[in-house]
Structure 1
């Protein structure tokens, strides 16, 4: 059992081999029998980066893994698509002993993967939370100057560069509080080799717009009103297209799940625990 030095959130980390792909997986055990929350992280982001949010979720059980090529998960030989990752995720849940439903939360790039997983495995996904994400290539893009800084993983490998561009990239509280960038940098692990490129490839040409209206999951769409990477209009599109979706807007930027963890985690908690209509 691993305990984070900066929280009282108990995190168990294990390695799983799933058809030749090793995944570094973290689980937090909640105190009730509700379905666990499966989290898909953002591009290049190792699982430790979500600890503040998970700690604030209180009694919710959580599952998260480093995507192949990120954190402690080795880079595969060949690139992958969202359909491949969705199938691997389904197998992982079975290996963990979850044969029924889970709730799913996706952040940014992981929000696209969450949409795809909910589409391909509707019986697996009970409720869906989409944070700071979009419907894919048919999105309303952020500023070109911001997106250009996202193409390469330099912000993960160069702390000085992160301090220079972090505020412009993430917006919101990161514009006002330099200590947030410092804390974020301390928990980052640079993507492995081709890992970042493979994540870019996985989302290239992908869009959920043709089938968003077929999603049956009750969905919470969360977004910051100062998100330079994914403008707020994309959240409004998602909420309008998904049949049972609610839009929650917070006065912050792209990483509001971390910078405002104590505020947004209770919102997610209430959504996951509310009675089914």
Structure 2
């Protein structure tokens, strides 16, 4: 099987006073589609979601390791969603990108919401995957949370293998076992400080008061068997974001993006390729 990082240009970028390991796919290739800016889940390195970039070959793709995760150096001082969204905007400028489709999974879905609210001029459409509106969320299975917080999930493949179903659900599907093993093999543990600062970043943060003002077309994707972020959180996002749609995946756990890869990619592509309903309505009214 081809390495999902094949074709990625990996660099260490100095932006916003930080050094970030950054991966860019196809940004130098002509395309009829906007590139995607992707925010990863907590503690996750670029390689964890690289298969998604490989599965959308018609689009540019930009992702980075948060400070203290993957191969980005430890953060010297804590950061918050505002400063990290500003840093991501600086990174887009470094690549000469003035508009992107923004996407995020889990913790990164919260960052994607904040980025779209803080930088609406840089954001066309928003895709939120297995995520919540922040601190005001409906919590998942307590057993999944305690195992999620255990650092062994990054460094002990046997621990991860044993508890994968509790952590992520959705492992009964054809091919899911292979996807699970492949995912475990791509993980690299964050540093203790990197993980702690990532947790601290979202403490007290909620997008709920701002979501009714979100002007972007938004796709919300949730796994119906998600033990960490129950599907009700997606329904809350759908109720709060005016121009949004919710798509759920039967049997999908927290990592349905990997276990239900074909369906996930098809849903993302259909959403991103759809005509701009807001522009069409304005054109019709004129």
TM over 0.5: yes
Q: Do residues 94 (structure 1) and 93 (structure 2) align?
A: yes
Cα distance in 2 for partners of 1:164, 1:52 equals 23
TM-score by length of 1: 0.94
Deviations 1:181-220 (A, max 9, x none): 3211110111023111111001111111111111000000
C-alpha contact 1:174 1:181 (8 A) present in aligned 2:
no
Cα distance in 2 for partners of 1:175, 1:160 equals 21
TM-score by length of 2: 0.91
In angstroms, what is the RMSD of aligned CA positions? 1.7
Q: Which residue of 2 aligns with 1:38?
A: 37
Cα distance in 1 for partners of 2:36, 2:6 equals 15
C-alpha contact 1:31 1:61 (8 A) present in aligned 2:
no
Distance 1:204 1:174, change over 3 A: farther
More deviation in 17-26 or 125-134? Answer: 17-26
Q: Do residues 186 (structure 1) and 178 (structure 2) align?
A: no
* Aligned-pair CA distance for 1:180: 3.0
Q: Do residues 13 (structure 1) and 10 (structure 2) align?
A: yes
SS at the partner of 2:121? coil
Unaligned stretches of 5+ residues in structure 2: 278-286
C-alpha contact 2:43 2:69 (8 A) present in aligned 1:
yes
SS at the partner of 1:60? coil
Cα distance in 2 for partners of 1:174, 1:106 equals 25
SS at the partner of 2:120? coil
C-alpha contact 1:56 1:266 (8 A) present in aligned 2:
no
Q: Do residues 167 (structure 1) and 165 (structure 2) align?
A: yes
C-alpha contact 1:166 1:174 (8 A) present in aligned 2:
no
Deviations 1:134-155 (A, max 9, x none): 0111110002221112223320
* Aligned-pair CA distance for 1:159: 1.2
Q: Which residue of 1 aligns with 2:254?
A: 254
Cα distance in 2 for partners of 1:17, 1:53 equals 25
For these two proteins, the number of residue pairs brought into alignment is 273
* Aligned-pair CA distance for 1:239: 0.8
Distance 1:201 1:61, change over 3 A: same
Cα distance in 1 for partners of 2:50, 2:114 equals 24
Q: Do residues 28 (structure 1) and 5 (structure 2) align?
A: no
SS at the partner of 1:80? coil
C-alpha contact 1:228 1:253 (8 A) present in aligned 2:
yes
C-alpha contact 2:5 2:50 (8 A) present in aligned 1:
no
Q: Which residue of 2 aligns with 1:147?
A: 145
Unaligned stretches of 5+ residues in structure 1: none
Cα distance in 2 for partners of 1:222, 1:21 equals 31
Q: How does 1:58-207 map to 2 (within 5 A)?
A: 58-98=57-97, 100-173=98-171, 177-207=176-206
Q: Which residue of 1 aligns with 2:284?
A: none
Q: Which residue of 2 aligns with 1:270?
A: 270
